[in-house]
Amino acid sequence: MKSAVKFFFVLTILLVTIKTNAQNPVKEIGVITSTIVSTQSIDITTPSAFASVIAYSPNIIRVRVDKQKLKPDFSYAVIAPPQTVKTTITQNDSSIILQTDSLKAEIKKNPFSIIFYNKEGKIISQDEQGLNISWVGEEVSDYKKMQDDERFIGLGEKTGNLDRRGSGYTNWNSDVPGYSASQDPLYSSIPFYIGIHHNLNYGIFLDNTFQTDFNFGASNDRFSSFGARGGELNYYFIYHTKLSDIISSYTSLTGRMKMPPMWSLGYQQCRWSYYPDTEVIRIAQTMREKKIPCDGITLDIHYMDKYQLFTWDKNRFSDPVSLTGNLKSLGFRTTVIVDPGIKVAPGAPAFERGLQQDAYVKYVDGKYYSGQVWPGWCYFTDFTSEKGRAFWRKEVKFFPDNGVSGIWNDMNEIATWGQKMPNNIIFDFEGRKASHLEARNVYGFLMARSSNEGYKEATNKRPFVLSRAGYAGLQRYSAIWTGDNVASDEHMILGVRLLNSLGLSGVSFTGMDVGGYTGGSASPELFTRWMQLGAFFPYYRNHKEYNNRSSEPWTYGEEAIANLRPFVNLRYKLLPYLYAAFYESTQDGLPVIRSLAIENTFDANVYDKTYQNQFCFGNALMVAPVVSTKDFAKIYFPKSSWYDLFNDSVEQGGKEKIIQLSMKELPVYVKESSIIPTQSLVQSTAYSPSDTLIIHVYKGNQSNNFIYYEDDGESFEYEKGNYYKRNISYDPSQKSIVIDKPEGSFTSKFKSIQLVFHGFTGVEKLRIDDQRVAFKRAQYSFLTDNSTAIAGEHSCNVLIAVFKNANNKIVIKY
């Protein structure tokens, strides 16, 4: 009798739902009518949809919902398969419970909705009752209850504040030259954000390449939501107690970067455009004469013959191999711009090969799509097809054959004149076929992938690929910069927030056009501030547009050079620290440039508009950006104690402070207990530093450890164990610093170690491996020549000891 009553109840609900949906332009997901339970997943049917909920890992639950039966699994972004997870699944008349050891999902049956709990039973996130999941036409959205005081951060390259509450965003890769400080969308799409409330934090990654939309309480006070203009609702819910672990889990799904070539971490000089070849050499020689360290010259579109891909303008660049060779002898690598549009030029070799290999995207009737860009009418390689990618990989060989070391993928949103690519273009999408609506957001990502793979195949060396557009997972293949920014204080500070947000979204190798690309010329003061700040960007490039005055450092005057050069020098001294930060990114996905929210997630001050632009460079250094129009800075110091990098004065955490500044200064602070390896100054990474590694240790109350890392800087031999890695630990309770025995088969370039102790007043003796060693007190400066003891405004009193870089474990007691 009970089963009959239950049957009629479900039937009644079903009939009501069908009738309601037939009359309602909003199609609701409705009641669960059947389930199939497997070991760690549940397949669900409602009158409107099919769904799947799976324990993807102990800390990740994946949810898929579609109006049609779910298609075979496919993703360009996610490369990690589901783990085997110990999962408990139970159900009753009203709900289904899926539980791992870290996370619980309660799936309500009437109607279908989900509540996520942590293992203590606290609600992390839940669908908004009465809204849940629904469709308007082909657009699908999931509405989540907005928790009290909930914050939202991340979502990749997005303008606005660090805390995105009250704003809405769209992912639709767009060419937006000179974009405003509030413009959306921009060039890339990373549909991953982090929610924060009540000492809880979680991540949601919506893996859908259609246009996606996110609402964090914009124009409403009831919900946050995410959705897509087509395709299925396919999201990964990630929970950890620490925000840094959420980023690590997200990058375990979408992949982590490989080690970049060492030269790409040096300063890069670019302009639209440097030509002819004699001008390029002049720029390089002047860098050396002015003693401004630099590793790269980047060529914009004028190196090509009438902007045609895989060509050189022979009038401007008569011997490209000789040019790139001469630059390399001066310690410079060459990067060139590469757009996706191939000029429709019958007889042109690359164009004809693309036709022969059927490599280009087409209209629905099978004719090739052509759009206008710099060369004129162009066809576009279909990077969603293996045929298209194979074609591109072979063509990319043109660049290393000409001595080019870096590939800069621009205009790959896709940008075309008119900015209205037709939606009836068909992309292969690995044989699945997709329209422009589904393929656009992933196009730049796949172009970067093809460029990366082509360079690697041609050279078996680490590629450097820079991309303007991308999708989630882009960190596997390329660096990204923030596009055509404006020469203004507002854009300099906005750029910092963009980099912070990209870091929160799993992308480490990021930068902006230092000095501003468009919008006129920066003042000497703004350029100085931007160059000082750029020394702490993962990708450090100066770039200026055509028809503006050139933007090499010396064009801003001798005073500007005197104030910015020490920070470029500092960048090069910090390369051992920076390289280790990139290595960390390859291991755990944590970014090089880090929003303070990563380590201070529940500190309201880090979201304050006054302090939201502060960031950490690696784990040890905190930088406070300063606009050019002010000679003071208001700074917030989070928990911990903080040393001024330049004079070792100490600031206590949890406080705000206003400091006076000259144009020589940028506020940079070191977290207590930090370990920072540095080297002697070089003018290029092509040159060897002295054979002494300088390790700075900052006294503090917390234990800490640092993974020091070296390899050859250009090959993939490190993947075979040819690296040099040492754990360096600091334990204040034991009054010790321990340098563990090195791992790996690579031989360090450093023969000696110089230990520099900051804040260790009152130390009377120093023992290394139980042997008393000599030490001295001295003045140390990061901004000037630190090979000699220098007193002054940019120096600090330290304790210094030097010893051989032994290959066994080293124990230092103080």
What confidence tens digit (pLDDT) does each residue in 660-682 have? Answer: 999 999 999 999 999 999 999 99
Distance CA 699, CA 714 (A): 35
pLDDT of residue 793: 77
**CA–CA separation, 686 and 333 (whole Å):** 9
pLDDT above 90: percentage of residues in the chain: 95
Is residue 711 flagged as an active site residue? no
The DSSP secondary structure of 187-247, one letter per residue, reads: S-B--EEEEEETTEEEEEEE---S-EEEESSTT-SSEEEEEESSS-EEEEEEE-SSHHHHH
> Omega into 204 within 30° of 0, i.e. cis?
no
For the segment 576-595, the average pLDDT, to the nearest whole number, is 98
DSSP annotation string for 387-427: HHHHHHHHHHTHHHHTT--EEEE-STTT--TTS---TTEEE
> 224 in the Ramachandran plot: left (φ > 0), alpha (ψ -120 to 50) or beta?
beta
Domain ranges of the chain: 25-239, 340-396+418-460, 594-671, 675-813
What does the alpha-carbon distance between residue 690 and residue 83 come to, in Å, rounded to a whole number?
47
Coil vs helix vs strand at 740: coil
Q: How does residue 315 score in pLDDT terms, banded at 50, 70 and 90? A: very high
Rg of the chain over Cα atoms, rounded to whole angstroms, equals 28
Structure tokens of 361?
């995207």
In which band, very low, low, confident or very high, does the pLDDT at 153 lie, cut at 50, 70 and 90? very high
Percent pLDDT > 70 in the chain is 96
Please tell me whether residue 65 adopts helix, strand or coil conformation. Answer: strand
Cα-flanking dihedrals φ and ψ of residue 112, to 5°? -60, 125
**Dist. CA 630–CA 666, nearest whole Å:** 12
Cα distances from 50 to residues 8, 67, 777, 792, in angstroms, run 22, 6, 71, 70
pLDDT at residue number 90: 98
Tens of pLDDT, residue by residue over 751-804, are 999 999 999 999 989 999 999 999 999 999 999 876 555 667 789 999 999 999
- Please give the Cα distance from 25 to 566 (Å, whole number): 63
- CATH H-level superfamily of 675-813: Golgi alpha-mannosidase II (2.60.40.1180)
Instruction: Tell me how far apart the alpha carbons of residues 644 and 635 are, in angstroms, rounded to a whole number.
Output: 12
How open is the CA angle 515-516-520, to the nearest 5 degrees?
105
What digits encode the pLDDT tens for the residues 230-249?
A: 999 999 999 999 999 999 99
Tens-digit pLDDT profile for residues 360-374: 999 999 999 999 999
User: pLDDT of 64-122, one tens digit each?
Assistant: 999 999 999 999 999 999 999 999 999 999 999 999 999 999 999 999 999 999 999 99
What are the beta bridge partners of residue 99?
Answer: 88, 104
Residue 440 CA to residue 432 CA, distance in Å, equals 15
Q: What is the reported pLDDT for 794?
A: 85
pLDDT for 792 equals: 75
255-310 residue pLDDT tens: 999 999 999 999 999 999 999 999 999 999 999 999 999 999 999 999 999 999 99
149 is catalytic: no
The confidence band for 22, taking pLDDT boundaries of 50, 70 and 90, is low
User: Where does 594-671 sit in CATH, by number?
Assistant: 2.60.40.1180
Q: What is the pLDDT confidence band of residue 10, given thresholds at 50, 70 and 90? A: very low
Q: What is the DSSP letter of 482?
A: -
From the candidates 184, 300, 453, 484, which is the catalytic residue? Answer: 484
Q: Please give the average per-residue pLDDT across 449-459, as a whole number.
A: 98
Residue entry with tokens 């087409």 = 362
Give the CA count within 13 Å in the CB-facing half-sphere of 13: 19
Which among 245, 413, 428, 584 is annotated as catalytic? 413
Interval 542-575: pLDDT, tens: 999 998 889 999 999 999 999 999 999 999 999 9
Task: Give CA–CA dist 15/435, Å, rounded.
Answer: 35
Is 677 in contact with 754 (CB distance < 8 Å)? no
- Which pair of tokens denotes residue 209? 């390449």
Beta-carbon contacts of 88 under 8 Å, excluding residues fewer than 6 positions away, are: 97, 98, 99
Answer yes or no: is pLDDT of 12 > 70.
Answer: no
- Among candidate residues 157, 300, 313, 410, the one labeled active-site is 410
What is the rounded average pLDDT of the residues 342-353? Answer: 97
User: How far is residue 227's CA from residue 678's CA, in Å, rounded to a whole number?
Assistant: 46
User: Does residue 2 carry a pLDDT above 80?
Assistant: no
- Bond prior to 677 in cis (omega within 30° of 0): no
* The predicted structure's pLDDT at residue 355: 98
Question: Based on the number of CB atoms within 10 Å of its own CB, is 69 exposed (0-12), middle (13-18) or buried (19 or more)?
Answer: exposed
Check if the beta carbon of residue 310 is closer than 8 Å to that of residue 324. Answer: no
Structure tokens at 477: 């293949």
Helix and strand element counts for the chain (H, E) = 12, 52
- CA-based nearest residue to 529, from 502, 498, 491, 574: 491
pLDDT at 313 over 80: yes
Torsion of CA 777, 781, 786, 792, to 10 degrees: -80
Contact in structure between 645 and 616 (CB atoms under 8 Å): no
Q: Compute the average pLDDT of residues 502-530.
A: 97
pLDDT at 790: 60
Q: Give the pLDDT band of residue 28 (cuts 50, 70, 90).
A: very high
413 belongs to the catalytic site: yes
Mean pLDDT of the chain: 96
Q: What is the pLDDT of residue 24?
A: 86
pLDDT band at 9 (very low <50, low <70, confident <90, very high): very low
Among the four given CATH numbers 3.40.50.2020, 2.60.40.1760, 3.40.50.1010, 3.40.50.2300, the one describing domain 25-239: 2.60.40.1760
Mean pLDDT, to the nearest integer, of 489-500?
Answer: 98
